[in-house]
Structure 1
Amino acid sequence: MAEQTIRVQLSETKKEKPKSDQLIFGRAFTDHMFVMDYSDPLGWHNASIVPYQPLSIDPSAMVFHYGQSVFEGLKAFRTKDGDIQLFRPRKNFERLNLSNDRLCIPPVDEAFALKAIKKLVSIDKEWVPDAEGTSLYIRPFIISTEPYLGVAPASHYKFIVILSPVGAYYKEGINPIKIAVENHYVRTVKGGTGEAKTGGNYAASLKAQELVSKDGFAQVLWLDGVEKKYIEEVGSMNVFFKINGEVVTPELNGSILAGVTRDSVIELLRHWNIPVSERRISMEELREAYLDGTLEEAFGSGTAAVISPIGQLTWEGKDMVINEGKTGEISQKVYDTITGIQYGTSEDPFGWVEEVEAKTTVK
């Protein structure tokens, strides 16, 4: 896509900002949003930052009927010096285009998308909270808008970015959560859309999540969709297990999302010379490790929660209490390091953070 300008229309009114200690994940939204259109043969065009507002979409828009949509999630953080920075945003847009390809959506210019997000965050910089553990969640997404009821890739799309000030994703925070292993329902299979970040994957997970939440579980751990034997991922997180001194995470097999935080955890562990492997791991292997005392730690990783220690796994009616239900040493170290890099309190030897230009000139 050729470089284009971003038209800016500032809101004439400002919303009341929620207090930092009252933030609920994904409930409040900032004053502005980014919108860009796609159509044949123009390509992506009409890039604009406008006041946050409802969308006007035809009832026959293909997204409502065939689910052609993708999204991403990343965050902006305010440092102790008042600067605003992003964490590995280029990885998010790289993954967005992989999702686009799987859903037959035209790719976006990754550099331009990053430029648009920086400008949007700069305009709404007052919404970036500064309390400990808070951030500005960034949600880019693309939907098919062509008014047509034929089953085919659409020829019209909208690329939208909205912003939301957030606190902790789980009410438990960094404290261990309870996870139920799902044996009945299937989220996705190799060859499906599991490695894409598309809404249908999450819709497919809701039933199992609804059922286990009644028993106090925070999330579902999904097994492979064919044999229902091998561990894949938690509903909103990738997953790691420390077994006999080695950290193991399920390998990317076509049905697991390649998490940005997952990649960061693996890089950190290798940087610390902690043994880490990406491979198939079955629930039977995990249960054996639990029974013989070599399952030392478990945690999930994701943009929303960063790191969530797993204090209990329940499979086939039996509870596995991991590390006495306490936060493990590696879980805590990874969490402290990643959040330290994100908030600018720790060294960033990997070049993961990108500064947002707080004094961007709005034209």
Structure 2
Amino acid sequence: MKAYVGPDGEVRLFRPDLNMARMRRSADRVALPVPFDTDALLTLIQRLVELESRWIPNIQGYSLYLRPTIIGTRPNLGVTASDHALLYVICSPAGPYFRAGSARQISLLANGDVVRSWPGGTGGYKLALNYAPTLKPQQLAELQGYNQVLWLLDGKITEAGAMNFFAVIQQDENNWDIITPPLDGTILPGVTRDSCIALSAAHPSRTILPHLPETLRLHAHERTLAMSDLKQWYEEGRLLEAFTVGTAVVVTGVGRIGYEGKDIVLPEHASGRGPVARALYERIVTIQEGKFEWEDWSVVCKSA
């Protein structure tokens, strides 16, 4: 997760309760000792951020990246669950994830030859072991001119790189579908993913997202998304945009998707994001920085 400085000088965390709950589930999945109190851990993280707030760059798009970590420290070797663990938090100033800046559209290469995760595996958990097998396919995608891999499982989209994937499909002029793959055990339950679903579903009944008309209704869906669907919608002219989301990138537009030797080319936008991606990015960032109040998503770090 990240810590942000708002215009009022207050330091905030974005939906840290979801991060803590996911950490506890993930530690349990790999049989690490998990009797730690997530509320107490969050209190300690808030105090840590207060103490180290000078490291948070006061620049648009920058933050303090936080990585709560737990590792097994059983004092002997063996293929067995660890009964000891070390819990710690890494902090680092962070800027835009992609070197060209946060407005850049990325390209994806759909890959079904190797898989990032599989049913019954660990793809739905935040574990270091999920990342190493993705590095070689990522290198191969870059050699072909793509930024990230779009991971497929039996032709179905799971994630994009280490991010969650969304597609925007037009029903008609005033109704757009916002579709992301379901949490079936192969998808990481991202905090930004959950936020994008909730904000999309709230427009226009509970809030009006930036730059989107009140007459436009967004319909958020968590359902299976196959590459064949994406290709068909593209050929029909109904695929309006695609974007990826995550803590590091927030929301980033997708410019093209390589599939079966051809590219699905999405419309270019001056901001690098389509209208829905741009709206979600701006709303989430303003919530993170304390410029827009939305439910209890932004938590101010203050000592009791």
How high is the TM-score relative to the length of structure 2?
Answer: 0.90
Q: Identify the residue that residue 3 of structure 2 maps to in structure 1.
A: 76
2:287 touches 2:294 (CA, 8 Å); kept in 1?
A: no
Q: Identify the residue that residue 297 of structure 1 maps to in structure 2.
A: 241
Number of aligned residue pairs:
282
Counterpart residue identity of residue 294, structure 2 = P
1:202 touches 1:235 (CA, 8 Å); kept in 2?
A: no
1:231 touches 1:281 (CA, 8 Å); kept in 2?
A: yes
1:267 to 198, 222, 227: 198
Q: Give CA-to-partner distance per residue, 1:134-163, whole Å, 9 cap, x none.
A: 000001111111132221101111011010
Q: Identify the residue that residue 313 of structure 1 maps to in structure 2.
A: 257
| CA distance, structure 1, for counterparts of residue 235 and residue 141 of structure 2 | 24
Counterpart residue identity of residue 214, structure 1 = L
1:286 touches 1:295 (CA, 8 Å); kept in 2?
A: yes
Stretch moving more, 76-85 or 140-149: 140-149
Q: Identify the residue that residue 230 of structure 1 maps to in structure 2.
A: 156
1:174 touches 1:307 (CA, 8 Å); kept in 2?
A: no
Query: Is 1:165 matched up with 2:73?
Result: no
2:126 touches 2:188 (CA, 8 Å); kept in 1?
A: yes
5+ residue gaps, structure 1, are 1-73
Cα RMSD of the aligned pairs, angstroms, is 1.3
Query: Is 1:247 matched up with 2:192?
Result: no
Stretch moving more, 321-330 or 157-166: 321-330
1:86 touches 1:355 (CA, 8 Å); kept in 2?
A: yes
| CA distance, structure 1, for counterparts of residue 5 and residue 95 of structure 2 | 13
| CA distance, structure 2, for counterparts of residue 219 and residue 276 of structure 1 | 25
Q: Identify the residue that residue 286 of structure 1 maps to in structure 2.
A: 230
Q: Give CA-to-partner distance per residue, 1:288-316, whole Å, 9 cap, x none.
A: 11111110010001000100111111112
2:234 touches 2:264 (CA, 8 Å); kept in 1?
A: yes
Q: Give CA-to-partner distance per residue, 1:67-122, whole Å, 9 cap, x none.
A: xxxxxxx0000011211011000100001111012111122211011011011111
Q: Identify the residue that residue 200 of structure 1 maps to in structure 2.
A: 129
Q: Determine helix, strand or coil for the equivalent of 1:323.
A: coil
1:242 touches 1:295 (CA, 8 Å); kept in 2?
A: yes
| CA distance, structure 1, for counterparts of residue 201 and residue 178 of structure 2 | 10
Query: Is 1:100 matched up with 2:46?
Result: no
Post-superposition offset of 1:323: 1.8
Counterpart residue identity of residue 166, structure 2 = F
Q: Identify the residue that residue 112 of structure 2 maps to in structure 1.
A: 183
5+ residue gaps, structure 2, are 171-175, 205-217
Q: Identify the residue that residue 128 of structure 1 maps to in structure 2.
A: 56
What is the percent sequence identity of the aligned residues? 39
Counterpart residue identity of residue 231, structure 1 = I
Post-superposition offset of 1:216: 3.0
Counterpart residue identity of residue 316, structure 1 = E
Rg (Cα) greater in structure: 1
Q: Identify the residue that residue 345 of structure 1 maps to in structure 2.
A: 291
Stretch moving more, 201-210 or 323-332: 323-332
Stretch moving more, 304-313 or 104-113: 104-113
Q: Identify the residue that residue 64 of structure 1 maps to in structure 2.
A: none
Q: Determine helix, strand or coil for the equivalent of 1:275.
A: strand
Post-superposition offset of 1:324: 3.6
| CA distance, structure 1, for counterparts of residue 242 and residue 81 of structure 2 | 40
| CA distance, structure 2, for counterparts of residue 324 and residue 169 of structure 1 | 20
Stretch moving more, 332-341 or 268-277: 268-277
Counterpart residue identity of residue 330, structure 1 = V
| CA distance, structure 1, for counterparts of residue 116 and residue 201 of structure 2 | 30
1:277 to 213, 221, 243: 221
How high is the TM-score relative to the length of structure 1?
Answer: 0.76
Q: Identify the residue that residue 257 of structure 1 maps to in structure 2.
A: 188
Counterpart residue identity of residue 247, structure 1 = I
Q: Determine helix, strand or coil for the equivalent of 2:129.
A: helix
Counterpart residue identity of residue 87, structure 1 = F
